[in-house]
Chain A
Amino acid sequence: MNEMPAIFGLAAGAARHAANRQAVIATNVANADTPGFRARDMAPFSVDDGFAPRRTRPDHMSGQGTAARSYEMRDVAADPNGNSVDLEDQVMRGLEAARMHDRALTVYRSSLDLMRAALGRR
């Protein structure tokens, strides 16, 4: 029973990461024709095992804050106007983020069901 809250936290973290990534991709798609815009993406979701550096004070610059980070995609060809958004690729990445979100929510929901069953409620 003690493992249950951990899996909820994990599922919520994965869902939040997918939502953040989807927001980054939405920005790319909206800027598909903005001159000089560089496409961005986020690193895949990873579990914080307690050893990752973290920011304990908001005025510290380095380390991971609560806000997710995105990075500029470098190995992509750019248009003559400096825009590096490839629409097909972005739609595919969006689909991937949506699937990750689905998966996280499914895990969350079935854990919830499991917990309810354990409590004898349906």
Chain B
Amino acid sequence: MAEFSDAFGVLSSGMRGQSQRLRHIAENIANVDTPGYRRKTVEFRAEVEQGRRTGGIETGPVQLRRGELPRINDPAHPMADAEGYYEGSNVELVTELADAREAQRSYEANLKMFEQVRRMSTQLMDILKR
């Protein structure tokens, strides 16, 4: 039975990680036109408890995309400088959408495995009930 509860823990850590990733993607998409906004990403790494890998994952600190922010020419914008330029965000919608699709796919795979493990443990319980 211990394998089942381990698997539940591992799979729920996977789902938690993927949903956090999806949340940051949503924030990025919402801020695609916010001046000076930098794209947020999280990194996945193996979860370690008491020096031992649990098999699950955890998310690292939120990272902001480095590099130049695009300079947009709009003299009427309240944040425009003397030359009429302001700094936009470095979010690319296409990248975000592709990333969101990948996160969703991984989340669904985790959920599917979760269902399967749950079904297996229910069947084992059914034998005990007889």
- Chain A residues with CB under 8 Å of chain B are 15-16, 18-20, 22-23, 25-27, 29-35, 37, 87, 90-91, 94-95, 98, 101-102, 105, 108-109, 112
Contacts and interface: CB of A to CB of B under 8 A. Distances in A.
A91 B3 contact: no
B25 to A, nearest CB: 13
Contacts of A37: 46
A29 B18 CA distance: 11
Q: How large is the interface on B (under 10, 10 to 19, 20 to 34, 35 or more residues)?
A: 20 to 34
A99 B55 CA distance: 23
Given A34-B46, A37-B46, A102-B123, A29 B109 contact: yes
Please classify the interface of chain A as helix (H, G, I), strand (E, B), loop, or mixed, using the class held by over half of its residues: helix
8 contacts: A23-B10, A27-B56, A30-B57, A33-B106, A34-B46, A87-B105, A94-B113, A112-B130
A116 to B, nearest CB: 9
A33 B120 contact: no
A91 B105 CA distance: 12
Given A34-B57, A35-B43, 9 more contacts: A22-B120, A26-B10, A29-B113, A31-B57, A32-B109, A91-B112, A91-B113, A95-B116, A109-B130
B113 A25 contact: yes
A102 B123 CA distance: 8
Contact of A31 (B43, B46, B105): B46
Contact of A109 (B4, B55, B119, B127): B127
Contacts of A32: 14, 106, 109-110
A23 B54 CA distance: 11
A22 B7 contact: yes
B124 A98 contact: no
B117 A30 contact: no
A30 B11 contact: yes
Given A23-B7, A87-B109, A33 B116 contact: no
A87 to B, nearest CB: 5
B110 A30 contact: yes
